[in-house]
């Protein structure tokens, strides 16, 4: 079992979730976080912390979000660990709850600076 970050994190990245994780398994990309499924101990602490309600147990993933299990698995090893909360992305509140955000997911980032795909 693992917990999974899903679509509503994209372009929001509130990062409340990272503060409570006892095993530091959140990894930061340009506009999304991923949980490393090999590190997650299923403590469930992160789920209620997310203002965007983007975190699910893999057991409770709605069918339309099941592909995010593979997305977390793919991206967590590529991105640096994040353990401290930071400012959300600038337009987080405008993007929260919107559908079709997967097309805005940025995968390549070296962890330096903030990415901006607002023109996309």
Rule CB under 6 A: is residue 72 a binding residue for ligand F3S?
A: no
Q: What is the largest CA-CA distance in the chain?
A: 38
DSSP states of the chain: --EEE-GGGTTT---GGGGG-TT--EEE-SS-EEE-TTT------SGGG-TT--EEEGGG--GGGTHHHHHHHHHGGGS-B--S--PPPTTHHHHTT-S-GGGG------SSS----TT-
Contact region with ligand SF4 (CB under 6 A), list: 43-51, 58-66, 71-79, 96-104: 43-51
56 or 109: CB nearest ligand SF4 = 56
Rule CB under 6 A: is residue 15 a binding residue for ligand F3S?
A: yes
Contact region with ligand SF4 (CB under 6 A), list: 35-43, 67-75, 85-93, 108-116: 35-43
Rule CB under 6 A: is residue 54 a binding residue for ligand SF4?
A: no
Contact region with ligand SF4 (CB under 6 A), list: 38-46, 62-70, 96-104, 110-118: 38-46
> In this chain, which of 4, 21, 40, 52 binds ligand F3S, going by CB under 6 A?
52
Rule CB under 6 A: is residue 106 a binding residue for ligand SF4?
A: no
Among 43, 48, 51, which residue's Cα sits nearest to residue 21? Answer: 43
Binding-site ranges for ligand F3S (CB under 6 A):
5, 9, 12-17, 33, 49-50, 52, 54-55
């Amino acid at each position: 079992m693992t917990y999974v970050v899903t679509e509503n994190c994209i372009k929001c990245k509130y990062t409340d979730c990272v503060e409570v994780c006892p095993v530091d398994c959140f990894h930061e990309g340009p506009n999304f976080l991923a949980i490393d499924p090999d590190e997650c101990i299923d403590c469930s602490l992160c789920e209620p912390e997310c203002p965007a309600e983007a975190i699910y147990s893999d057991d409770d993933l709605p069918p339309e979000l099941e592909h995010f299990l593979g997305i977390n698995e793919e991206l967590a090893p590529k991105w640096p660990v994040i353990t401290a909360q930071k400012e959300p992305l600038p337009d987080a509140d405008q993007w929260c709850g919107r559908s079709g955000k997967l097309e805005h997911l940025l995968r390549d980032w070296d962890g330096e600076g903030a990415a901006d795909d607002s023109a996309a």
